[in-house]
Amino acid sequence: MATTKSSSNRILATPSSNARKNYLYVQEVGTLHSVEPHISKRQNLNSFLFIVVISGSGTVTLDGQCFPVDAGNCIWIDCSHSYSHESSADDPWTLMWVHFYGNSASAFYNTYMEQDNPFLFMPPSIVPFTEALHTLYQAHETKNPLSELISHKCLTDIILLCFTESSRKNETAATIHEKLQLVRNYIEEHCMEKINLDDLADTFYISKYHLSREYKKTFGITLGNDLTAKRISHAKSLLRFTSDSVEQIAASCGFQNAGYFTKVFRKAENMTPLEYRKKW
């Protein structure tokens, strides 16, 4: 472990045999305020590390892969793996942290990771996490005779918060996916009408910026391009199976005029609407 200047408060705990056998227990708990860039490297520890980034920024490297970290992030690491965390030179961080272990610790962590949950995440609020860490620190600082029971409860609370946060994010992701599918169904059904992003955002109660970003991420195509593709598909059907004029087809497919329709159609099909009609 290599460090530069920092202000650190830590308490090293030695659990009883009863705690080692039956509880989750604290190995170290503390706070760190980096005055200058700070790096810590470890591996092959029988320990789990939980960190809350109070302020500042830095990076965490786990098994050779580096991740940016910002204020508000929480980190849960299996210390049997190779890991390091380094404070930013421009924005040194302040951390609250605990090293802990126990017979059930690995089972909790493995279950968490098997559910494809991230070891690095940002909850809506870090307050429940910092309150648990503060209680842990205080219990060991004051040598509370119930410190091992308090530690077990606080560590269990932190683990539960991690699972709760991941569950909340999964539910949110599912809700967003369902809403995006509704948006796509809507433009499929109403693609012949005038549709714009602002109206869709108002109809489905979602930020237009979030809608644009998530639509592309989910379906692999921008919302505007998807809408245009649906209109072109309908136009192709009308060109093949009706005698409507290009002007009529443009209007019925939601294009502002025949000239714009022809331009968009040529870009999509590499031929004009009339050439398409003749060819097919």
DSSP 209-268: HHHHHHHHHHHSS-HHHHHHHHHHHHHHHHHHH----HHHHHHHTT-S-HHHHHHHHHHH
- Taking residues 82-93, report their average pLDDT: 91
For residue 1, the model assigns a pLDDT of 39
Write down the pTM of the prediction.
0.62
Neighbours of 28 (CB within 10 A): 15
Q: What is the CATH number of domain 191-280?
A: 1.10.10.60
Between 179 and 244, the more confident residue is 244
Distance of CA 142 to the CA centre of its chain: 38
Host H or E run for residue 26: strand 25-34
Structural fold of domain 6-170: Jelly Rolls (2.60.120)
For residue 214, the model assigns a pLDDT of 87
Neighbours of 133 (CB within 10 A): 24
For residue 133, the model assigns a pLDDT of 98
Strand partners, 98: 29, 50
- Taking residues 208-218, report their average pLDDT: 87
**pLDDT tens column, 68-85:** 999 999 999 999 999 999
**pLDDT tens column, 133-168:** 999 999 999 999 999 999 999 999 999 999 988 767
Share of the chain above pLDDT 90, in %: 73
Asked if the model's pLDDT at residue 44 lies above 70, the reply is yes
Q: Where are the domains of the chain?
A: 6-170, 191-280
Fold match between domain 6-170 and domain 191-280: no
